[in-house]
Structure 1
Amino acid sequence: MGVKPWRTREQLINTLIQQRHLKCDSKCDLDTILKENNYFQLINGLENFLLPDIDTRPKTFATENVNDFLRLYQFDEELKRTVQLLTEKFEDKLKTSIAHNFSKNHCMNLNDTMQYTNNSNFVNIGGDDQYPFKLYQYKKIYNNFDRFLLFKSNFVDNLVNHHDFIDRSFYRSNSYTAPSGVTTFSDDPKVAVPFWVTIQTLDFGNLVWLLHYLQDSDMRDVLDDFDLPLRKRFFFLNALDIIKELRNNCAHGSLLLRFRTPEYIKLNTNLVSYFNLSPYHNGGNTTYSSNISLFDSLKILYLFVDMSPLKKVFKKIIYQNNRYFHKKSYDLNQRILLSIGADSYHEIKTLFH
């Protein structure tokens, strides 16, 4: 299929109503709907849920109407907002754990406040030939230890100058003397910003890089906060890969109903076994599996946060479809479950209890 040319809203509406037979009652203002919602996401992204026969060409509807699309789209938006809040809750806990434990081990004294910028307190994994997935999702992390954000010579300058909540006068002490190896603020070497403040400025991707570089003693303490032993280090790091993809998908506005982790993210065999995951593809080799569904990804997030807020979101769409959607040739709720990788609504209720 070639690139589709631009069309006016009127042309899009005529195609939907006249050619594809989508129903739109007198109360439906399709022009307003298309002004407020992305056509590609609303129609193209969801049409396979609502086509009587997804293999028939041209693609035409039977009794389906615009409200069916809106209900699905609003469900996806609510699902996305809820999952994003859950990933943010996990991220807050992760930041708190990293900053607390690293500071306990390396930054107890005033002069050691900035030891989190000293690369000698971390491990350069680039020297480990056996490091997992070093040719896949961890390739940049593996090869760029010296280029990590915290180790850059201008890190503290950027930290203080680009974040209004970090007041240089507040974090200044005449008693502070920077030890060898740490980064200093070029305008005033008496400024030292604690790690629990700095870590709030790091995005999820940088948190993942940081965790890969933690010494075993520091990683042990972080894992203990999540009730995991040190031997689960790579299990945990791989779980973060999945959670990061969930978070990014929610933040960037893509339909969550069609979510799958990208193929380049390979899966730890212990992770697959523990959560009973169903990878879709082997990624071109027989060693590492990849590509899991939304439901499998949510199983992983469930290990770290309370997922009960999702129960209400799924219950709402299931009941709405049972009430408003009547189509004998297919079950819309079953199509939703199939898309996210859940075997049944009961399985969802069990996980999100």
Structure 2
Amino acid sequence: MGKFAIPIPEQIKKFESRGLSLDCYSEDKLKEILLDIGYYRLGYYCHPFIDKKTDKFKENIKISDIVTLYYLDSDLKHLLLKYINRIEVNFRTKVIYYTSMKYKEDPKWFVNRNVMNTRFIKDFDKIYNVKFKTDNLTIKKHHKKHPNDDFAPVWKTFEYLTLGAVITAYANIKNEDIRIRISNCYQIRDLDKFMRLIHTVRQMRNICAHGAVLFDFHLPQSINSIPQITFNKGDRNSVDACIKVISFFTKCISTNRHADIEEEVGCANLADSTS
């Protein structure tokens, strides 16, 4: 038989039956927390506190410990988004600028088969559809003013692409020198290493922007080792390693913003505090 939804009083009793201390929280406060976060979602943050052998909470674990972890995770995601957004805008700008300077005569080079791989152009039609042209104001205005244009110029179009889509566009530029010129802006000449690093930023962006659980995230593939980043204890898969990548990109963009992220996140100490 499948599981069914249970009311909040039963949710509270279920926590207690597994040995969780409800400490100083009143019943009204517990209801408020469960209606705010949700029983199922809060369960993601219980895992570090549960004894795997008994499936019960470890000794002396309080619900406030779980709630604290939840808000730490939430605050960290909001904080990282500020720096990830800076990286996203910077990277998009460089892809637009350096490629456009190479192909000055074609402001729609992203659908030019001499510039881009054919597969990308075919797939791009799925992005640049009727909905894309009507939902995005600048694009909508462009096509109203220029009804015969199939596409708006790259500096308009790419503003509405996701970071993942911009990375895909970058990877499909045929001219390797352009891709290297862009990666060199971030002190990386090896394109494979650069792609792994920028994809790490993308993965972190998706987690932070969509409210997924961050604190125990592990990359399926290790981040490439590069001289510019010192990973704690050689760990190249954890959240701490991902934050170091974000910090690295930020340093390439702005020394002031790099100082900010180092101060606000405390990259050097994160691994010890979450282990």
* TM-score scaled by length of structure 2: 0.80
Q: Distance in 2 between matches of 1:261 and 1:147?
A: 30
| C-alpha deviation, 1:46, in angstroms | 2.2
Alignment partner, residue 162 of structure 2: 203
Q: Distance in 1 between matches of 2:18 and 2:214?
A: 28
Closer/same/farther in 2, CA of residues 26 and 83 from structure 1, 3 Å limit: closer
Q: Distance in 1 between matches of 2:132 and 2:52?
A: 54
Alignment partner, residue 162 of structure 1: 135
Q: Does 1:220 align with 2:180?
A: yes
Alignment partner, residue 94 of structure 1: 91
Alignment partner, residue 36 of structure 2: 36
The number of residues matched between the two structures is: 262
The C-alpha deviation readout for 1:219-262, integer Å capped at 9, x for no partner, is 13322332333xx2111111122111111111222211111113
Percent identity among equivalent residues?
15
| C-alpha deviation, 1:79, in angstroms | 0.5
| C-alpha deviation, 1:69, in angstroms | 1.9
| C-alpha deviation, 1:146, in angstroms | 4.8
Q: Give 3-state SS (helix, strand or coil) of 1:121's partner.
A: coil
Q: Distance in 1 between matches of 2:191 and 2:242?
A: 18
Closer/same/farther in 2, CA of residues 57 and 169 from structure 1, 3 Å limit: closer
Q: Distance in 1 between matches of 2:134 and 2:213?
A: 36
Alignment partner, residue 16 of structure 1: 15
Q: Distance in 1 between matches of 2:248 and 2:58?
A: 41
Alignment partner, residue 253 of structure 1: 211
Q: Distance in 2 between matches of 1:160 and 1:26?
A: 51
Alignment partner, residue 312 of structure 1: 264
Q: Distance in 1 between matches of 2:49 and 2:242?
A: 25
Alignment partner, residue 122 of structure 2: 147
Q: Distance in 1 between matches of 2:44 and 2:237?
A: 19
Alignment of 1:1-353 (within 5 A): 4-25=3-24, 27=26, 29-42=29-42, 44-51=43-50, 54-106=51-103, 108-109=104-105, 112-123=106-117, 144-149=119-124, 152=125, 155=128, 159-166=132-139, 167-168=141-142, 172=146, 187-189=147-149, 193-214=152-173, 215-229=175-189, 232-262=190-220, 266-267=221-222, 271-272=224-225, 274=227, 275=229, 292-305=237-250, 306-307=257-258, 308-309=260-261, 311-313=263-265, 336-338=273-275
Amino acid at match of 2:123: F
Which of the pair is proportionally richer in helix?
Answer: 2
Q: Distance in 2 between matches of 1:41 and 1:272?
A: 34
Which has the larger Rg? 1
The C-alpha deviation readout for 1:142-162, integer Å capped at 9, x for no partner, is xx445231xx39947665333
Query: Which structure 2 segments of 5+ residues have no match?
Result: 251-256
Asked whether the equivalents of residues 24 and 66 of structure 1 are also in contact (C-alpha less than 8 Å), the reply is yes
| C-alpha deviation, 1:313, in angstroms | 4.9
Q: CA RMSD in A?
A: 3.3
Asked whether the equivalents of residues 110 and 121 of structure 2 are also in contact (C-alpha less than 8 Å), the reply is no
Q: Distance in 1 between matches of 2:8 and 2:47?
A: 21
Closer/same/farther in 2, CA of residues 3 and 88 from structure 1, 3 Å limit: farther
Closer/same/farther in 2, CA of residues 299 and 31 from structure 1, 3 Å limit: same
